[in-house]
């Protein structure tokens, strides 16, 4: 294919995925987020590789964006509850220490187990749905009675079995770099950020409705 055709392939695949996007599943995830916020719980998020970096974007957005005025000139009053959001990938020191001491598969579970409660929401992102460090942490979250949301692709893997709400990105890909074991991976990673923006925007709308600007 020519460069133009290959670029168009990516965009065509993206449109098909968006047309088949499981909106109802994301709505359930939003409701879980709202419930966690309302009861003063904490959102914990985890992912691997480049997706771990995307969680830094999540952290910034969830911590701040719903809690400023629409024109961003000032924060909402201090008595407006903020969302507690923890990026389990946020500390290189903690992650490398846990991997060194107890191993890769248990690093998220070990970070989560002492602190997660039934008031919390655990968000897991795994393309395969079978990343052992993610699934073990989901098991910890389920045992604690926390809400669980997973985003994955393909058949959903173990994440689909473990998570209360699991969003499986639909479709497949022929675009270079996301075929075979990486099938649809670029689209998955793109949509991870889109889901962040949708959830943050919905939470902002909810907070604003309860605390209208002066």
Question: What are the tens digits of pLDDT across the range 175-194?
Answer: 999 998 889 999 999 999 99
- The pLDDT of residue 20 is 96
Question: Taking the domains of the chain in order of start, what are their residue ranges?
Answer: 3-68+79-209
Report how far Cα 35 is from the mean position of its chain's Cα atoms.
16
Question: If you search the block for the tokens 């946020």, which residue do you land on?
Answer: 90
- The pLDDT of residue 72 is 80
Q: What gap in Å lies between CA 30 and CA 78, rounded to an integer?
A: 24
Is the separation of the CB atoms in 136 and 162 below 8 Å?
A: no
Report how far Cα 32 is from the mean position of its chain's Cα atoms.
13
Is the separation of the CB atoms in 82 and 43 below 8 Å?
A: no
pLDDT above 90 for 51? yes
- The pLDDT of residue 213 is 64
- Average pLDDT for 112-119: 98
* CATH 3.40.50.300 fits domain 3-68+79-209: no
| Extended strands (E) in 26-120 | 42-46, 84-87
Distances (CA, A) of 151 to 96, 101, 139, 148, 214: 24, 28, 15, 10, 38
Tens of pLDDT, residues 125-162: 999 999 999 999 999 999 999 999 999 999 999 999 99
Confidence of residue 95 (pLDDT cuts 50, 70, 90): very high
């Amino acid at each position: 294919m020519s460069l133009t055709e290959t670029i168009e392939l990516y965009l065509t695949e993206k449109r098909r995925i968006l047309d088949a996007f499981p909106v109802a599943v994301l709505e359930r995830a939003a409701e879980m987020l709202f419930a966690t916020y309302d009861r003063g719980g904490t959102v914990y998020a985890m992912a691997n590789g480049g997706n771990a970096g995307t969680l830094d974007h999540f952290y910034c957005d969830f911590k701040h964006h719903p809690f400023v005025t629409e024109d961003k000139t000032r924060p909402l009053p201090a008595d407006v509850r903020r969302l507690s959001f923890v990026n389990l990938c946020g500390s290189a020191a903690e992650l490398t220490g846990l991997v060194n001491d107890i191993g890769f598969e248990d690093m998220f579970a070990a970070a989560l187990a002492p602190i997660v409660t039934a008031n919390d929401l655990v968000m897991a992102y795994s393309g395969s749905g079978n990343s052992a460090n993610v699934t073990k942490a989901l098991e910890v979250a389920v045992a604690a009675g926390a809400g669980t949301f997973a985003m994955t692709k393909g058949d959903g893997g173990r994440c689909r079995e473990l998570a209360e709400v699991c969003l499986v990105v639909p479709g497949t890909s022929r675009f270079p770099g996301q075929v075979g074991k990486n099938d649809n991976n670029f689209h998955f990673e793109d949509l991870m950020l889109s889901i962040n923006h949708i959830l943050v925007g919905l939470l902002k709308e909810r907070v604003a409705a309860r605390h209208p600007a002066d």
